[in-house]
């Protein structure tokens, strides 16, 4: 390939046909989820009321590779393989000797990486006779991805959208409805838990943890209904590894290996999806990139949370997950990156971080929006607020290269576009984006509620 390329594209015939499971390659496996009543490891039967067996088996698999069903690949082909882009115009604007690459997932129908897992999740549910899926959505990306995927298989989709986001982002709701989903603001008046919260505060802004509790309660009560989670769990990260597998091939096409890999972490799925195939290469000694997680300073799970067993939801209904957590009752300040406002982190990403295989940094949203704007003005794409965190960390790294004169190769995930997040850019341009100080006292109080298991 000539050396002046912008886009590195794979032919459709080279869509990966297997997902990669990093767990067998790790020095030790991550601690298992625990049943909240017995505190024994949660087995497949404990998860069966919520997920179909096909996904539960992927959640616990010890295989290194899992075949992607042909019928799933046929849907993924609507947008995959996604392009790998060389950010030459951003490099020029930063006057850096670094080479910046981004893997762009905004080309999917819903505009983010989320359909990479929504499609197989809908597929396995449909294959087991499930007629309806429930879920939560914060920023609206996951709800729209699942609504799209359910439409592909003719199953119903019911979404609890965090109330603050439901009010701020009416077009995300419309998008879900276009694909046939039913959308409730959360807390809602259709579940007991939602009604109890609305009785306390009719204007309750909601949170991801609350919306998860509502969606789970509806699925658990109905035999033909299951629940779908858009991040955090092993099977979700497994499905997202298609991102990193493609990126590995694309970088090889232009003769590059990354020195630094950067991704934003909300629940860990776009980061894991890009990073885990590269971690395999690193563990095998074939390359040695620094792998960096970027999170919002207002929701600093990896950098300031504790690594303990905690609940995945606010009503304490999920299995206990060993993860970095800010406490299941933690309600982050209303930063615009709604997808990064989760109190916990993928247990797999948490475990890998504890093993010392990754780094983490927290960045304030004003620095992220500045980087997002610079990216839009150079590369053209308006990033979603979540990946502006990865872009801000990429800019930091590229400027450090300018200082040191090193020409590092940086790879990042541009996991979604921001076309339905323009209100946040409007606020940034108007100068009304605030940063939030999360005090040690407030954090300590929230972490106190995390059970201490011996
Ligand atoms: C959901 C979402 C995130 C956060 O989730 P991860 O599992 O951490 O990837 C980040 N960016 C976008 C665009 C999202 O839709």
Please report the DSSP string for 4-62 in residue order: T-SEE---GGGS-SEEE--GGGSSSPPPPPB-TTT-SBP-HHHHTTTS-HHHHHHHT--
Residue 334 has pLDDT above 90, yes or no: no
Number of the ligand 1 atom closest to the C-alpha atom of 270: 9
Alpha carbons 29 and 22: distance in angstroms, whole number: 9
- What confidence score (pLDDT) does residue 176 get? 98
Number of the ligand 1 atom closest to the C-alpha atom of 416: 13
Neighbouring C-alpha atoms within 13 Å toward the C-beta of 287: 21
Residue of 230, 264, 353 with the most ligand 1 atoms within 8 Å of its CB, for mutation? 264
Name the closest-CA residue to atom 2, ligand 1.
Answer: 339
Residue 1: pLDDT band (50, 70, 90) is low
Alpha carbons 322 and 453: distance in angstroms, whole number: 10
As a whole number, mean pLDDT of residues 372-383 equals: 98
Residue of 110, 112, 336, 393 with the most ligand 1 atoms within 8 Å of its CB, for mutation? 112
- What confidence score (pLDDT) does residue 168 get? 84
- What confidence score (pLDDT) does residue 315 get? 84
Residue 211 has pLDDT above 80, yes or no: yes
Using the mean position of ligand 1's atoms as its centre, give its distance from the Cα of residue 372 in Å.
16
Which residues' Cβ are closer than 6 Å to ligand 1?
112, 114, 139, 141-142, 231, 264-271, 339-340, 384, 386-387, 415-416
| Every domain of the chain and the residues it spans | 7-14+80-111+238-441, 52-67+114-234
As a whole number, mean pLDDT of residues 134-151 equals: 96
Angle (CA) 231-213-36 rounded to 5° is 85
pTM: 0.97
The Cβ of residue 124 has, within 10 Å, a number of other Cβ atoms equal to 23
Alpha carbons 185 and 191: distance in angstroms, whole number: 11
The Cβ of residue 449 has, within 10 Å, a number of other Cβ atoms equal to 14
Name the closest-CA residue to atom 5, ligand 1.
Answer: 266
Residue 347: pLDDT band (50, 70, 90) is very high
Residue partners of 443: CB distance under 8 A and separation at least 6: 304, 326
pLDDT digits 0-9 by tens, 80-109: 999 999 999 999 999 999 999 999 999 999
CATH topology of 7-14+80-111+238-441 equal to that of 52-67+114-234?
yes
Q: How far is CA 257 from the centre of its chain?
A: 24
Residue of 211, 231, 346 with the most ligand 1 atoms within 8 Å of its CB, for mutation? 231
Residue 134: pLDDT band (50, 70, 90) is very high
- What confidence score (pLDDT) does residue 454 get? 66
Angle (CA) 207-362-228 rounded to 5° is 35
Using the mean position of ligand 1's atoms as its centre, give its distance from the Cα of residue 101 in Å.
19
Residue 400 has pLDDT above 90, yes or no: yes
Q: Which two tokens stand for residue 350?
A: 């948490």
Alpha carbons 365 and 335: distance in angstroms, whole number: 7
Residue 2: pLDDT band (50, 70, 90) is low
Cα separations in angstroms, 147 against 31, 77, 231, 383: 32, 18, 16, 22
Quick check: helix, strand or coil at residue 293? Answer: strand
Q: Which two tokens stand for residue 330?
A: 């933690």
Class level of CATH domain 52-67+114-234: alpha beta
Burial class (CB in 10 A: 0-12, 13-18, 19+), 6: exposed
Using the mean position of ligand 1's atoms as its centre, give its distance from the Cα of residue 206 in Å.
18
Backbone angles phi, psi at 216, to 5 degrees: -65, -40
Residue of 292, 358, 415 with the most ligand 1 atoms within 8 Å of its CB, for mutation? 415
Using the mean position of ligand 1's atoms as its centre, give its distance from the Cα of residue 204 in Å.
24
Number of helices followed by number of strands (H, E) in the chain: 18, 15
> How close are the terminal C-alpha atoms of the chain, in Å?
57
Residue 345 has pLDDT above 80, yes or no: yes
As a whole number, mean pLDDT of residues 320-329 equals: 95
Using the mean position of ligand 1's atoms as its centre, give its distance from the Cα of residue 199 in Å.
31
Using the mean position of ligand 1's atoms as its centre, give its distance from the Cα of residue 107 in Å.
15
Using the mean position of ligand 1's atoms as its centre, give its distance from the Cα of residue 232 in Å.
10
Contact 222, 252 (CB under 8 A): no
Alpha carbons 416 and 338: distance in angstroms, whole number: 13
pLDDT digits 0-9 by tens, 51-65: 999 999 999 999 999
Residue 207 has pLDDT above 90, yes or no: no
Q: Which two tokens stand for residue 119?
A: 């499609």
Number of the ligand 1 atom closest to the C-alpha atom of 232: 7
Using the mean position of ligand 1's atoms as its centre, give its distance from the Cα of residue 350 in Å.
16
Q: Answer whether CATH 3.40.50.1100 is correct for domain 7-14+80-111+238-441.
A: yes
Number of the ligand 1 atom closest to the C-alpha atom of 346: 7
**Which range has the top average pLDDT, 118-127, 323-332, 444-453?**
118-127
Name the closest-CA residue to atom 15, ligand 1.
Answer: 141
Alpha carbons 53 and 59: distance in angstroms, whole number: 9
Residue 200: pLDDT band (50, 70, 90) is very high
Alpha carbons 22 and 3: distance in angstroms, whole number: 33
């Amino acid at each position: 390939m000539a050396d002046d390329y912008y886009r590195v594209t794979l032919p459709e015939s080279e869509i990966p046909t297997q997902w990669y499971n990093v767990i067998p390659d790790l020095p030790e496996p991550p601690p298992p989820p625990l049943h909240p009543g017995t505190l024994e490891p949660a087995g497949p039967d404990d998860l069966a009321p919520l997920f179909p067996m096909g996904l539960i088996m992927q959640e616990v698999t010890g295989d290194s590779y899992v075949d992607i069903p042909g019928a799933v690949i046929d849907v993924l082909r609507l947008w995959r393989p996604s392009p790998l882009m060389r950010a030459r115009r951003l490099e020029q604007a930063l006057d850096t000797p670094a080479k910046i690459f981004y893997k762009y997932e905004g080309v999917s129908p819903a505009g983010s990486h989320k359909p990479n897992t929504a499609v197989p999740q809908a597929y396995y549910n449909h294959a087991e006779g499930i007629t309806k899926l429930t879920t939560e959505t914060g920023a609206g990306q996951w709800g729209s991805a699942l609504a799209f995927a359910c439409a592909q298989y003719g199953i119903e989709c019911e979404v609890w959208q965090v109330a603050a986001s439901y009010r701020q982002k009416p077009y995300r709701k419309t998008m879900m409805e276009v694909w046939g989903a039913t959308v409730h603001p959360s807390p809602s008046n259709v579940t007991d838990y939602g009604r109890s919260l609305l009785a306390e505060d009719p204007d309750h802004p909601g949170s991801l943890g609350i919306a998860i509790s509502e969606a789970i309660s509806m699925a658990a009560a109905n035999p033909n209904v299951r629940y779908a989670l858009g991040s955090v769990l092993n099977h979700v990260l497994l499905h997202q590894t298609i991102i990193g597998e493609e990126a590995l091939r694309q970088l090889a096409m232009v003769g590059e290996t990354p020195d630094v890999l950067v991704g934003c972490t909300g629940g860990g799925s776009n980061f894991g999806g890009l990073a885990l195939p590269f971690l395999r290469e690193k563990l095998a000694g074939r390359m040695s990139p620094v792998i960096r997680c970027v999170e919002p300073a207002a929701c600093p799970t990896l950098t300031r949370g504790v690594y303990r067993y905690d609940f995945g939801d606010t009503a304490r209904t999920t299995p206990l997950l060993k993860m970095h957590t800010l406490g299941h009752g933690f309600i982050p300040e209303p930063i615009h990156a709604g997808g990064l406002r989760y109190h916990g982190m993928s247990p797999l990403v948490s475990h890998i971080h504890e093993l010392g295989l990754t780094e983490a940094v927290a960045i304030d949203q004003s620095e992220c929006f500045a980087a997002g704007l610079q990216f839009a003005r150079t590369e053209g794409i308006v990033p979603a607020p979540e990946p502006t965190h990865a872009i801000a960390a990429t800019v930091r790294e590229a400027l450090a290269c300018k200082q040191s004169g090193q020409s590092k190769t940086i790879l990042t995930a541009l996991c979604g576009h921001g076309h339905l997040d323009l209100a946040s850019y409007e606020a940034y341009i108007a100068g009304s984006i605030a940063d939030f100080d999360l005090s040690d006292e407030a954090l300590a109080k929230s972490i106190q509620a995390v059970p201490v298991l011996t």
